[in-house]
Structure 1
């Protein structure tokens, strides 16, 4: 069994980032099907936990079903010169998932589950409010013999301090619109890679959390091209495609 990423509230920002980056590589490498199996196990175990809203389990199931439709199978795309192109997906990297105190646990679970099934590692705040969710996720990972791709910090201020790190590929936030503006300014001022920013501020209707394509905001696409056709053959096909004789 792989080493589990433990709760580490007092370590430096660099160590947390390194932990999350190290956790991302094996988690992303196991593939969509195995990640779906872990999250299905997580959802199933949550149903037996007292004190956890049944909707938390249901929202995980929902986004796993959508991920199965959207990203589970690579897409074959024949090329114009006879090559084979296979389109698949990959996690973006390290995500920060933030939620204001007493905000929607369902929205938080939706963002978290999409980040994980997409192939990302996650850094979150170690709160009593979400402790049961992560305890059960740890059980699911242990049963599947994979390391839990989640790292913990002591509060949202630490997460905010991590926004400037180039390793952070994206941010998920559950809370109010004013905070979204503040975080968006910080993210926009970053140098290095552009970080995607996914927010849920409608805590009644949960518009973002109910988005059937939400998982697509947590992934990136990659194409593998295989060409075994002779160069001359390719040239002929290209010429025919251009209408040349």
Structure 2
């Protein structure tokens, strides 16, 4: 039996292509506008996530074309991410972590649903700048339904180790696309969210191969490559 999907899921799916196709430079421009409303550590975290993404996944990479074709490696978002906290969302020091989750997921090209107190507040501010449906805030009850949805790509969670294990098992049992858990279990030091490789948890790689040779050219090059001197 197919479970009824929350309306926020459909909204996020509808907005996904438009947000991803803007490209990382334009996404960074819009997200930079929203940073003005942040303060101190949350602001620094948001700025760092954007600059880190631009340096790690910002440029397309041209790969070797051994048979004459053009191969280009690029990145794109995975889909819909739920960004939340299971450590008590009324704790002020957790705001920086939630900011890190949301900005990393968004700059990578994903749409975001958030269920935490600070996440909902951030979503309200970002919604004034970003295209409709790119980020949405939901209640705790709706959040629980979204976790079980077959249509989300991942859950970024500020959580305890015990809860992370429970979430991993819960996500692994779902049908549909592989839904990964991106957990942070150290809410003060943030070794995961502040790691330069954190952005890679929110992207997938894509290779486009374009045949730039004449008809039959690839076959000729392969034959030449196989000939003995």
Q: What TM-score do the two structures reach when normalised by structure 1? A: 0.83
Report the counterpart of residue 190 of structure 1 in structure 2.
174
CA contact (8 A) 2:113 2:138 kept: yes
CA contact (8 A) 1:172 1:198 kept: yes
Runs of 4+ with deviation above 6 angstroms: none
CA contact (8 A) 1:137 1:148 kept: no
* Equivalence map 1:87-126=2 (5 Å): 87-100=73-86, 101=88, 102=90, 104-125=94-115
SS of residue in 2 equivalent to 1:216: helix
* Equivalence map 1:182-221=2 (5 Å): 182-221=166-205
CA contact (8 A) 1:95 1:169 kept: yes
CA contact (8 A) 2:114 2:120 kept: no
User: 1:232/1:152 Cα in 2 relative to 1: closer, same or farther (>3 Å)?
Assistant: same
Cα root mean square deviation, aligned: 1.9
* CA positional deviation for 1:154: 1.1
Report the counterpart of residue 223 of structure 1 in structure 2.
207
CA contact (8 A) 2:69 2:213 kept: yes
Q: Is 1:147 the equivalent of 2:132?
A: yes
SS of residue in 2 equivalent to 1:73: coil
CA–CA separation in structure 1 for the residues paired with 2:42 and 2:77: 23
Report the counterpart of residue 72 of structure 2 in structure 1.
86
CA contact (8 A) 1:85 1:225 kept: yes
* CA positional deviation for 1:231: 4.4
Report the counterpart of residue 123 of structure 2 in structure 1.
134
Q: What TM-score do the two structures reach when normalised by structure 2? A: 0.88
User: 1:67/1:132 Cα in 2 relative to 1: closer, same or farther (>3 Å)?
Assistant: same
CA contact (8 A) 1:46 1:136 kept: no
How many residue pairs align between the two structures? 222
CA–CA separation in structure 1 for the residues paired with 2:171 and 2:121: 30
Q: Is 1:55 the equivalent of 2:46?
A: no
**1:204-238 deviation per Cα after TM superposition (whole angstroms, max 9, x unaligned):** 22111111121111011111111121344322322
Report the counterpart of residue 68 of structure 1 in structure 2.
54
Q: Is 1:39 the equivalent of 2:10?
A: no
CA–CA separation in structure 1 for the residues paired with 2:22 and 2:54: 15
CA–CA separation in structure 2 for the residues paired with 1:83 and 1:36: 31
CA–CA separation in structure 1 for the residues paired with 2:215 and 2:128: 53
Q: Is 1:164 the equivalent of 2:164?
A: no
CA–CA separation in structure 2 for the residues paired with 1:113 and 1:238: 45
* CA positional deviation for 1:68: 0.9
Unpaired runs of 5+ residues, structure 2, are none
* CA positional deviation for 1:176: 1.1
CA contact (8 A) 1:95 1:121 kept: yes
